[in-house]
Amino acid sequence: MRRKIAVFAALMACAVGWGGVASAQQAVDTEKELEKYRQMMSDPMSNPGFLAVDRGEQLWSLKRGTKNVSLETCDLGIGPGKLEGAFAKLPRYFADADKVMDLEQRLAFCMDKIQGLDLADIKKRRFGKPGQTSDMEDLVAFIANKSSGFKIEPQLTHAKEKEAAAVGEALFYRRGDVLDFSCSTCHGEEGKRIRLQGLPDLSKPGKDAQATMGSWPTYRVSQGQLRTFQHRLWDCYRQQRAPEPGYLSDGLTAITVFLMKQAAGGELQVPSIKR
């Protein structure tokens, strides 16, 4: 009887081992096929995200608000109206606002100060959905695309930029809420997966962070929408069962500063396309 039990245990161990090998191989094969799909859809003629780029270009030059002017004099950090390479250096400190801003915060600032635009509707439509576009997502797509091919250059010279990076790192590792999760729970080590998707390790500088941050904004096939990194962070907190973070909040910007620091030197290829 003991011999039979030992033989059975050995056979089960082999079966589990082969199953693990098969699962690992299946994961590799699935990722290869997904990458083929992304490559096929990366061309502007195939990626629906470029429709958002076109809409954003029109919004950039559209006169509106109480002052009936466009956003073309908005300074995104490299001079009024200059777009090429600006996104690669965001978030950054802006002296006129005396704070560190990501692109969406800066656009909201310009809409208010330059155009005199009521931001209530802009914030209400912060994330697009079927039958409803988002001005912010479209503008981010257009502006970010102007930095496609540029290297990520995190701005960390001003004291408030350094502070934001430190706060963002603390938030990245902060556990809490009903699941006791943090950003690092999913993105703090190599080899983790969720469903068919490999999870990048964002806890250290290098290729994972560069590939991740260099691909936002992105067109999400599963949602049929162009999404910004503000949406990505909002959705992460939602999946953690945490309270919804405030749109345009300094906390989300701080996390972005930290992650852009991790991604320094990576190349932007946006808008990308994801599942």
Please list the active-site residues.
236
Angle at 132 between CA 121 and CA 45, to 5 degrees: 125
Q: Residue-wise over 184-208: b if at least 16 C-beta within 10 A, else e?
A: bebbbeeeeeeeeebbbbbbeeeeb
Question: Please, which residues have CB within 8 angstroms of residue 37's CB and are 6 or more apart in sequence?
Answer: none
* Token couple for 254: 């701080």
Task: Decide if 62 contacts 122 (C-beta within 8 A).
Answer: no
Question: By C-alpha distance, which of 133, 145, 147, 135 is closest to 53?
Answer: 145
Question: By C-alpha distance, which of 228, 37, 30, 218 is closest to 134?
Answer: 228
Task: Decide if 184 contacts 173 (C-beta within 8 A).
Answer: yes
Question: By C-alpha distance, which of 141, 137, 144 is closest to 122?
Answer: 137
Question: By C-alpha distance, which of 219, 232, 234 is closest to 274?
Answer: 219
Under DSSP, is residue 90 helix (H, G, I), strand (E, B) or coil? Answer: coil
**What is the dihedral angle through the alpha carbons of 111, 116, 118, 119, rounded to the nearest 10 degrees?**
20
